[in-house]
Amino acid sequence: MLSPDLSPSAAVHGCKARELANNHGSGNACRIFPLKHLTHFQHEQIWSARLEAGKVWNQCRDIHLEARTSTLRRALGDAVLSTRTGQHWPNRTDLQQATKGLYAMHSQSVQMICHTFLQNIDTTRKLRKSGVKIRYPYKTKHTYTLMWPAQAVKVTENRVILPMGRGREPLVLNLKLPEGAGACKLVFNDGYELHVTYHVDDAQESPGTRKACVDLGEIHQAAVSTDSGQAIVVSGRGIRSLKRQRS
């Protein structure tokens, strides 16, 4: 399991990068760049795209809900086949085709939301099978995180260029990314941050053979399931309540 290192890294254009890296094994690491000097136009770019991303998630939710809803639920509960429509639950191809060309976003960013949604569904199914009481995605999202796969990201010496879709200006950020930078995620965490994945290959592998899947969320801090069938959900309701009282 990774041991995150949250210590500040080198300064980048007036802000500091944070690093989430596996210090004891090769693989992917994440460097976090706070985006403190965005222009008004860039704020508008990001906000408009986040609104569109929320719509993509909501459409995925609606499609999946329709597929798994039935007038007579199977005794097993989480059947992969809908008893009402006789159709399998939607997969990546289904969601990508349903959302294709409908949103003012880069096509691969839309696809990544579809993939993330299905990962959420898969984690939820595993948790429910292990006895954890948790609902499938049901909330309406006003906005959602923006994501770009490695092949969509253009990196120059001191800039990263993130496509925003056909006919729209790309989001250009003055950042020096780590060598081997790949997929990017634009997150709001009391301000915008760019999370950049990059490859690390300079240490021995971590001991152990067990694997765990971690799904970070807003209501629940994390849902964790292992390949041995164990699972746990870390609730964030208490923290959210305290935060509201202080704001």
How many whole angstroms separate alpha carbon 73 and alpha carbon 88? Answer: 14
Contact status, residue 121 vs residue 91, Cβ threshold 8 Å: no
Helix (H/G/I), strand (E/B), else coil: 28: strand
pTM beyond 0.85: the answer is: no
User: What are 135-185's pLDDT values in tens digits?
Assistant: 999 999 999 999 999 999 999 889 999 999 999 999 999 999 888 889 999
User: What are 34-46's pLDDT values in tens digits?
Assistant: 999 999 999 999 9
- Write the CA distances from 85 to 58, 62, 124, 138, integer angstroms: 21, 15, 22, 20
User: What are 184-223's pLDDT values in tens digits?
Assistant: 999 999 999 999 998 877 645 666 666 666 665 555 567 6
The token pair at 97 is 């085709």
Determine whether 231 is exposed, middle or buried from the number of CB atoms within 10 Å of its CB (0-12, 13-18, 19+): buried
